[in-house]
Amino acid sequence: MKCARPILALFLAAGVAWGQWGGELRLSLRSEPRSLDPVLVDSDSEETFRYFTGGVLVRVNRVTQQLEPELATSWNIEDAGRKIVFHLRKDVCFSDGTRFSAEDVAYTMQVLLDPAVHSPTGDAFRSGSGVAKAAVRDPYTIEISFPRPVAGAARLFDQVAILSRHSSDRTAAVLGPFHLVERKPGSYLRLARNPNYWKTDHGRRLPYLDAVRLDIQQNREIELLKFERGDLDVISGVEPELFDRVSGSRKAWTQDAGPTLESELLWFNQTPAAPLPDYEKRWFASRNFRLAISHAIRRDDLCRVVYRGHAQPGVGPFSAANRVWFNQALKQHAFDLETSMRMLAADGFKKEGPTLKDAGGHAVEISVITNSGNRSRERAASMIQQDLAALGIRLQIITLDFPALIQRITQSFQYELCLLGLINVDLDPDGQMNLWLSSSANHAWNPNQKTPATDWEAELDRLMQAQAAAIDATHRKLLFDRVQEIVWREAPILYLVNPNALVAASPTLRNLAPSVLRPQLLWNIDRIYFERGR
C-alpha cells in the first residue's frame, strides 16, 4: 500500500501530462475557403484548414520561432546554399493508408511548380533566375535544388503540405493530424482524427481530439455570442472591445499574447504617374514632410484608445514579436510637435492662422483612404485627423469598399495617403521581398519602378537581394537591420501600431500555448485536449 500511493500519484500526474483522448473542438473560420487544395492556399481560412490537415517536412514552432523536424528528421544545406537535402521519417502513412516516401515530396514539388497550377505557395520557389527542382536520392532522401543560394530555405517548407502521388483527391490522403470528413459549403467543415497520424504519445497515436468542426462565420459579434453560449470552444484574433467583454467572464480562458507581426501602417503616394498636383508630389517626396507627419501622430493614444491597450506602437517592418529579425536599436517616432514644425519649416512650410501652407502658398489639405468596415482603422484615421490638425494640416478621411480601394492604390493611383494593415505570415525578411524591392508591384508607395527612384530605394534593393542570398545568419541580420534603419529614417511607410494577439478559449481546454503567430491558439492542435470527455 505504501508503494501504491506514489505509483497512483505518478499515474495521475502522468495522466494529466498525457492528455485525454476524445471530444470535438469547435471554432469558426472568418470566410469560406475557396479551395481546400493545399497548393492553392490564398487566405487565412484556407491556411487554417491546411495547417490542421497537411503534413509538412519541417515546422516553425510558433512559440520558440525555431524550425523543428516533422516528416523530415533532419536536413542539410549543400552547394553553398543552392541545395537542401531532407532525410525523411520512415514508417509514415497517409490518412488513406498509403505509404509516404520521397516520391511524394517530389510529386508535391512538381505540382507546386507547375505553371498551370498557379500555386501561391509555389511562388516562393520561383525567382527571376529560375525555379527549384526536386530529385529523389533514395526512398527516404530528397534534394531540392535552387537556381541561386537561398537563405533559410528550410523554413519555406513550413507552408508545403505533402501530397500523395497515389491520390487524385488532395483532401482524401493527408499527413496532418486531421482529415476532412464532411463539408457543407457556407456552413461548416468537419474534420476527423487521422488514424495514421505519425505522432504518438506514450505509444498511442495523436491527436487527442476526435474531431474539429470549423463553422463559417464572418460576423465577429455572432462568433463571440456563440462562444459565450458554448457553441464554440476557441476564438483567435478577438477584437479588443470584444476581448475586454469576454475577459470578465468565468466561462472563458483569455490571454493577451502580446504584439503580433501584423502592422497598421500609413504611406504616402509617391507614384510619379499619380494624378496629383506637382506641389503635393513634392510634399510626399520630402523626407522631412513624411517624418513631420510621423512625429505628429500620437501612437500611444492609438494603442490606448483604439485598441484599448491591446497594441504596441509600431516601429518598423517587424514588431518586437519577431525575436530574430526585429532591430532592437530602433524606437518609435516619438510624438513631438516641435520636431514636426521644425522639419516642416526646413522645407519652407509655415503656419498661417490655423492652416499650414507650403512655400508656394498652397494650404496643406490631404486625404487618407482606408477600407470601410474596419472599425479600428476608421477610428485610427479619426485620431490621426485630429493629431494633424495641431500642425495646421486638414486631413479628409475617405472610406471605400475594398475593391475600390485596391483599384486606387494599384491602378489609378488616385490617392494621397493610404491607411491599411499588413499581415506578416513569415518570420523571415524574404517574406517582405515584394514590399521592399522597387521593381515589385507591391512596393506600396511607388510600385513597378524600372530603376529605383531614389538612392535609398536602390540601397534597399541591394540590401534585400544581398540578405536573400547570404547564408550566414549573422550577416543576414546585419543586412536586414540596415534595411530597417533606412525605412525608419526615410519613413516611406509610417508604422503606427502592432495589434496584440488576443485569444479566448473554453476553460476545459488544456495544452494551450498562445502564440503571436498564426494560427495563434491552435498551432499545436495535435496536442490540445479537453480536460473531461465531451
Q: Which residues bind another protein (CB under 8 A)?
A: 221, 224-225, 241-242, 245, 301, 304-306, 365, 367, 372-373, 375, 378-379, 381-383, 385-386, 396-401, 404, 414-416
Which residues, listed in sequence order, are joined to residue 418 by a DSSP beta bridge? Answer: 267, 369
* Least separation in angstroms between CB 221 and another protein: 6
Calculate Rg over the CA atoms of the chain: 25
Q: CA-CA distance, 196 to 527, in Å (whole number)?
A: 16
Nearest CB to another protein, comparing residues 363 and 425: 363
Helix 287-296 to helix 337-346 angle (10° resolution) is 160
Determine the residue type at 488.
W
* Closer residue to another protein (CB): 57 or 274: 274
Long-range contacts of 48-51 (CB under 8 A, 24+ apart): 48/214, 48/518, 48/519, 48/522, 49/180, 49/189, 49/214, 50/161, 51/176, 51/519, 51/522, 51/523, 51/525
Q: Which is nearer to another protein, 88 or 502 (CB)?
A: 502
Residue 504's nearest CA partner among 305, 258, 242, 212 is 242
Cβ proximity to another protein: between 101 and 371 the closer is 371
Min separation Cβ 371 and another protein, Å: 9
The three-class DSSP label of residue 227 is helix
In the bound complex, what is the minimum distance in angstroms from residue 226's beta carbon to another protein?
12
| 3-class secondary structure, 182 | strand
Residue 232 burial (CB count, 10 A): 22
CB closer to another protein out of 209 and 224:
224
CB of 495 to another protein, least distance (A): 21
Q: Please, what is the minimum distance in Å from the beta carbon of residue 301 to another protein? A: 5
Contacts of 349 (CB under 8 A, 6+ apart): 289, 356, 357, 358, 359, 364
Q: Which CB sits closer to another protein, 10 or 406?
A: 406
* Least spacing, CB of residue 252 vs another protein, in Å: 13
431-458: string of b/e by CB count within 10 Å (b at 16+)? Answer: bbbebbbbebeebbbbbebeebbbeebe
> What's the min distance (Å) between Cβ of 362 and another protein?
12
Spatial strand order in the sheet of 133-138: 72-78, 83-88, 141-145, 133-138
| Cell numbers found for residue 198 | 505519425
Written as nine digits, the cell of 269 is: 503616394
Read off the C-alpha cell for 155: 523554413
Closer to another protein at the Cβ: 18 or 402?
402
Minimum CB separation of residue 133 from another protein in Å reads 46
The minimum distance between CB 365 and another protein, in angstroms, equals: 6
In the complex with another protein, which residue's Cβ is closer, 383 or 486?
383
Residue with grid cell 492609438, as numbered in its chain: 302
**Whether the Cβ atoms of residue 36 and residue 49 lie closer than 8 Å to each other:** yes
Minimum Å distance from CB 396 to another protein?
A: 6
Cis peptide before 277 (omega within 30 of 0): no
DSSP string of 81-103, one letter each residue: GTEEEEEEPSS-B-TTSPBP-HH
Name the residue nearer to another protein (CB basis): 119 or 370.
Answer: 370
CB 271 within 8 A of CB 445: yes
Query: CB atoms < 10 A from the CB of 233, how many?
Result: 22
- Please, which residues bridge with residue 179 across strands? 192
Closest CA to 237 of 300, 310, 305: 310
Nearest CA to 265 out of 110, 496, 523, 525 is that of 496
Nearer to another protein, 214 or 246 (CB): 246
CB of 392 to another protein, least distance (A): 16
Cis status, amide bond into 207, omega within 30 of 0: yes
Please, which residue, 245 or 534, has the CB nearer to another protein?
245
Please state the closest distance from residue 235 (CB atom) to another protein, in A: 14
Closer to another protein by Cβ: residue 192 or 404: 404
Provide, rounded to whole angstroms, the least separation between the CB of residue 491 and another protein: 21
Sign of CA dihedral 263, 265, 271, 274: positive
Cα-Cα-Cα-Cα dihedral of 513, 514, 519, 525, to 10°?
Answer: 20
Integer distance in angstroms from the first to the last C-alpha of the chain? Answer: 34
If the CB atoms of residues 185 and 248 are measured against another protein, the closer one turns out to be 248
